[in-house]
Amino acid sequence: MSIFPTKILLATDGSSEARLALTTAADMAKSTNSELHVAYVFPTAVQRPFPNPITSRPREVLEHELEEAMKQAQQFLDQQVERVKEEGVSVAEAHLVRGRPDREVVHLSEEIGAGLIIMGSRGLGGVRRALMGSVSDSVVRHAHCPVLIVRE
């Protein structure tokens, strides 16, 4: 049994920290001969119990907007995969999922059997983090495997 992971999950969101995490994940996958998976979680909006009649739009319009947003999310994920390839590493699989980013990253890491999750930290200030929490903090607390948080 090796101490090195056989599967690495890179969770990305396009931030500058996520770009550093991408480079780190590519380097680590290359040096440990690990399989690299890249994930982007399309965050779902918080649902209100009662729609606002002034801002409510027809269902067809909302579905079209969601479809367009998912196409853009897929294009973003494809760009991230290309960046990994530019680092000289192949991507085993790209994952586009919808939901709460922290929960989805943890769930996906379990689903693929990741031995390591790598992600960036946006570096929220202490007060803001205490009030809102952060995706990276939540992933660290709930992940079944080690998590590497990359900071600028």
In this predicted structure, what is the pLDDT of residue 132? 45
CATH class of segment(s) 7-150: alpha beta
**Looking at residue 52, what is its pLDDT?**
57
Q: pTM, whole model, 2 decimals?
A: 0.84
Handedness of CA 74, 76, 82, 88 (dihedral sign): negative
Cα 60 to Cα 56, 63, 67, 149: the distances in Å are 12, 5, 10, 40
Residue extents of the structural domains in the chain: 7-150
Q: Is the dihedral of CA 115, 94, 107, 150 positive or negative?
A: positive
Please report the pLDDT score of residue 131 as a whole number: 44
Query: What are 9-45's pLDDT values in tens digits?
Result: 999 998 899 999 999 999 999 999 999 999 999 998 6
